[in-house]
Amino acid sequence: RKAIGVLKLLKRGERKVRVEMESTLKEINGGSVLDLDDKSGVGGGVEDVYGEDRASENQPITPWTVTVASGYSLLRDPHHNKGLAFTEKERDAHYLTGLLPPVVLSQELQEKKLMQNLRQYTVPLQRYMAMMDLQERNEKLFYKLLIDHVEELLPYVYTPTVGEACQKYGSIFSRPQGLYISLKEKGRVLEVLKNWPEKSIQVIVVTDGERILGLGDQGCQGMGIPVGKLSLYTALGGVRPSACLPITIDVGTNNKKLLEDEFYIGLRQNRATGQEYAELLEEFMSAVKQNYGEKILIQFEDFANHNAFDLLAKYRTTHLVFNDDIQGTASVVLAGIVAALRELGGTLADHTFLFLGAGEAGTGIAELIALEISKKTSIPVEDTRKKIWLVDSKGLIVSSRKESLQHFKKPWAHEHEPVKELLDAVKVIKPTVLIGTSGVGKTFTKEVVEAMASINEKPLILSLSNPTSQSECTAEEAYTWTEGRAIFASGSPFDPFEYNGKVYVPGQANNAYIFPGLGLGLIMSGTVRVHDDMLLEASEALAAQVSEENYAKGLIYPPFTNIRKISANIAARVAAKAYELGLASRLPRPKDLVKFAESCMYTPVYNSYR
């Protein structure tokens, strides 16, 4: 049987060579490449080994591992395992008879059973662990659950529950997910990358664990973030799970509690800094490019401010890199503000913005707003920045503080008298939009919110810090203190709230709206660099998805139930911009980019096995 399988593969290889030669000859003879059928899909020529894409949804596949997976090995392989959904014919063909109870269940019935089980858990972390266990056991069923019940399960797979999971990662750790690269591997990072079993990687999410959500330094236990982000790349953006690689770079931790924890899984030393840190990151970035090529997307995640800005500035011109905390957050917040203009009135340039928090998220959002205003008005970005004010831990950022400011805060130091407190800043700046990215809970006090309500008929209040405990104010507080006039969105989810007989549904400015579609757009077009204009396109595409029905409920973001459609539209707009800028390498350009994005998306429906 193995020999027959090998012969089939060899024949398939010969057929592939013939097709490529015919294509080449057709071009030489004057045939147009536009006449050729697109066989490559989102892989850009990478064969769909596991039958993951929608294009292969109804085609029978051979469940290869090193050999044809069968018997116990098939049941232990999450790529191919279907549990009780294996048909009698498949059980006979793959030596499963007797290894499973006689019943054959549909995937829909398996899904129903698992959702019943999950809903019985009362502790969010238990649901997180149950979902992670399912991902390790039956990959397609995991993604079927997540796609079909995205609004219910997203808070358990990602924020806010993932924050608690990172804090307790050492205690709940069972099986390794992703790749760990520590200082001990310095000098042989390429060798470590080659240990990962999948070779056709398209997206890497990497963290060093120094600034996990609003929880600070979690060291090696920050791995929960790349794992969670990549599961969303697949569920929401349709990127193949086999093409995703979560990585944690362990350079130590300054978290004393973790260093003293007997179950801590990382290096027991203080964080490496300076040259030692820079050399390891440089080796990592070079090794990734050497191993996976020019078009590998590297998403930086939850690096501390001082490293995040430097890494993005250093590698954005040499690698396909993207920082979700700086750029992803900015794009999703800009989309919410653009959508809210319908309720607020006027254009973006007519509004004044005040931020509490001047780190990665705050300055990233501020810069993208300034770029969008500049794009729409043709006013230089240096001037459009003057509509945007930032408050940090020392007060309003003004020009008299310029000498002592970190480099990424300096563009926001405008001429003004020093102002210490946020409340005073609201009173003198008179913003129409108040944005919280401080990572400190309860900082939008009753007095601050009431001041916003006295200045504006409809104040836009964005309380973006994660997790829920770090939110600047709750939805209930925002609606109550403004007598139901606020337009509100937050970083972590809040339940609908009833005030004076009207139900308000708070929006969630979740990065998961943007990065999966952005990633899909970059991959399917073979883009080699991320440009700011692509982020603006993603924002506009998301804002365009907000319907009349959503506005009527007070929402400035569309519901997550339509996220795959939203991601396909974002991917199409991002890809179109990449082609326009000459940064896309996948030629010819597909005629209908939305349809192409949808056809490239991973499907969680079970394949039938020969």
pLDDT number for residue 45: 52
What is the average per-residue pLDDT within 291-315? 95
Do 56 and 602 form a contact (C-beta atoms < 8 A)? no
CA atoms of 364 and 367, how far apart (whole Å): 5
Look over the chain and give the mean of its residue pLDDT values, rounded to a whole number: 91
Q: What percent of the chain has pLDDT over 90?
A: 81
What pLDDT, in 10s, does the model give residues 138-167? 999 999 999 999 999 999 998 889 999 999
- Given a contact cutoff of 8 angstroms between Cβ atoms, the answer to whether 395 and 419 are in contact is yes
* pLDDT per position as a tens digit, 381-426: 999 999 999 999 999 999 999 999 999 999 999 999 999 999 999 9
Question: Does the structure show a pLDDT above 80 at 572?
Answer: yes
Least confident of 102-106, 249-253, 490-494, 533-537: 490-494
If we measure between CA atoms, which residue out of 546, 406, 405, 571 comes closest to residue 487?
546
- 10-19, 172-181, 323-332 — which one is most confidently predicted on average? 323-332
pLDDT at 319 over 50: yes
Active site residues: 158, 229
50-100 tens-digit pLDDT:
778 777 777 887 777 667 878 999 999 999 999 999 999 999 999 999 999
Asked whether the predicted pLDDT for residue 6 surpasses 50, the reply is no
pLDDT in tens, 92-110: 999 999 999 999 999 999 9
Q: What residues have CB less than 8 Å from 90, skipping those under 6 apart?
A: 82, 96, 608, 609
* Angle in degrees, 0-180, between the axes of helices 139-148 and 150-157, rounded to the nearest 10: 120
Q: In what order do the strands lie in the sheet with 179-182?
A: 179-182, 244-250, 203-207, 297-300, 320-323
| pTM of the shown model | 0.87
How far apart are alpha carbons 113 and 95 in whole angstroms?
A: 26
Cα separation, 166 vs 172, whole angstroms: 9
Residue 498 pLDDT level (bands cut at 50, 70, 90): very high
Residue 31 has pLDDT above 60, yes or no: no
pLDDT at 44 over 60: no
CA gap 447, 154 in Å, rounded? 33
Contact at 8 Å (CB) between 105 and 165? no
Alpha carbon separation from 347 to 232, 333, 535 (Å, rounded) = 33, 16, 19
CA distances from 381 to 269, 337, 364, 366 (A): 43, 18, 14, 11
Over the stretch 420-455, which tens digit does the pLDDT of each residue have? 999 999 999 999 999 999 999 999 999 999 999 999
Question: What percentage of residues in the chain have a pLDDT greater than 70?
Answer: 92
Distance, in Å, from the CA atom of 326 to the CA atom of 60, rounded to the nearest integer, reads 43
Q: Which residue stretches of 392-460 are H helix?
A: 422-429, 446-455
> How far does Cα 7 stand from its chain's mean position?
41
